[in-house]
Structure 1
Amino acid sequence: MDAQRCWEIVEAARSEAGTDWDNLDESLGVALRDQLVRLSLTEIVEFDAQFGVLQYHVARDDLFMAAFLIHNGCGDDSFSDFCAGVVGLGRQWYELALADPDNLAGHPAVQGVAAGTVNISVLLTERFQFAPRRALKQVAGDDRSYYEALDRAEQAGLPVGSPAGAAPVPPRRLERLAAMFPEQQASLELFYPDLTVVGG
């Protein structure tokens, strides 16, 4: 499965999930699982590999800063969920975020968080992140078949799960997000001075 086919599946799930931002994780998780259970075990494993690569590219310091600002703090597990959440916004927003994380300031879910009308955890999509594994278990039917499929993927050289993270980027300030979340920006500068340009 190539990246284009992976995106087609993600976009189908994104379309089905709709714009109820407070239930984004649940709706995306269900929609993606429903898309994947139509595939073979091999195709699901291949999707999971491509999905992990998409998350890997988001795992950058400047996108960690965006996650910290939007969600009022961000640990390792939360950042992994956030990386999946950016994928879950669909290809257009994913590419905008990669080009400049400050572009997330224009997304209606993030604007809703700033306005207090959307749950602060909106892009922390754990259920969506692990939907491929749930689909694989459902199609495999038992744990043995599930682990055998993962073993075959590793033997074939496919990455299993999300890679650790992408290359670091130079310190910077996300101006639009900082303006939307000024208290979080102050905390970010306090706890992560190496990532920010204080007073920039």
Structure 2
Amino acid sequence: MDIDEFWLFLQRSRQVTGDPDERLRWLSLHLAQRPPARIVDFQILLNQIRRRSDTYDMWEAANLIFGGCSTDGFWYFQAWLIGLGRDTFELVVADPDNLAEVPEVRRLAERPVSEWAQEEWPQWEALSYVAAGAYEEATGEEDGVYDAMKERGHTNQGDPEPTGLPWRLRDPKATTQRLPRLSRMF
């Protein structure tokens, strides 16, 4: 599986359904039908793509949207962002303030967090584990995808490791300069 196939795979799941749980079932079913090496490719690509969004600027954007975003919340947010598809992901990675253009974020900004439905939350934790489940289904090896990744020289990242200037070194007032549209929305 190459990068284009990865994105196409996610796009197809989204075309089938917008429901995150149904998308996971679709992804798991279709991944499990592929050779184990391709399932490993999927996880490696997911990690590499996620790494591109693993910045303090992106975390700050998620923090504005959520009204506070934990380490786990940011991890799940990154998966959600990938789940929105290649075009949206590239737009937002180029400038996290572009989240203000994302229809799902715009809809959330119209209501208080307390009124967000579960399926609307900008988090998709389970995407992180879909390849592991598919690999186990295909091979019978629990957590085998991670062993296969190690054999290929890759490790599975389990938490954010953001790059860029950490928050504690920033002027809090500068958030509105870096993320002006999101700051107005949230």
- Into which bin does the TM-score normalised by the smaller protein fall? 0.7 to 0.9
Partners of 1:86 and 1:94 within 8 A in 2 = yes
Task: Give the AA of the match of 2:129.
Answer: F
Q: How far did 1:123 drift?
A: 1.5
Distance 1:149 1:75 in 2: 27
Counterpart code for 1:112? R
Q: How does 1:29-44 map to 2 (within 5 A)?
A: 29-44=24-39
Counterparts in 2 of 1:136-151, with a 5 A limit? 136-141=135-140, 145-151=141-147
What is the deviation of 1:138?
Answer: 1.8
Task: Report the Cα distance in structure 1 between the residues aligned to 2:136 and 2:75, rounded to whole angstroms.
Answer: 21
Match of 2:117 in 1: 119
Q: 1:175 aligns with which of 167, 170, 180?
A: 180
Query: Which residue is 1:63 aligned to?
Result: 58
Q: Matched residue of 1:5: which SS?
A: helix
1:142-181 deviation line (CA, Å, top 9, x unaligned):
xxx2344432320221333457435215855311111011
Tell me the distance in 1 between the aligned counterparts of 2:60 and 2:143: 35
Per the normalisation by structure 1, the TM-score is 0.76
Please give the root-mean-square deviation of Cα atoms over the aligned residues, in Å.
2.2
2:103 pairs, out of 97, 108, 114, with 108
The alignment-based identity, stated in percent, is 28
Residue 149 and residue 85 in structure 1: after superposition, are their counterparts in 2 closer, same or farther (change >3 A)?
closer
Cα displacement (A) at 1:80: 0.6
Map of 1:79 onto structure 2: 74
TM-score normalized with structure 2 length: 0.82
Give unmatched runs, 5+ long, in structure 2.
none
Query: Are the aligned partners of 2:40 and 2:149 in contact in 1 as well (CA < 8 Å)?
Result: yes
User: Deviation per CA, 1:25-51, whole angstroms, max 9, x where unpaired?
Assistant: 323322322331221222111110111
Change in Cα spacing, 1:2 to 1:165, as seen in structure 2 (3 Å) is farther
2:49 corresponds in structure 1 to: 54
Q: Which moved more, 1:130-139 or 1:163-172?
A: 163-172
Q: In the TM superposition, what whole-angstrom CA distance separates every residue of 1:88-135 from its partner, at most 9, and x where no partner exists?
A: 000000000011111111111111111127537622111222212221
Q: What is the aligned partner in structure 2 of residue 165 from structure 1?
A: 161
- The answer for the alignment partner of 1:195 in structure 2 is none
Give ranges in structure 1 of 5+ residues lacking alignment. Answer: 182-200
**How many residues are aligned here?**
173
2:149 pairs with 1:156: no
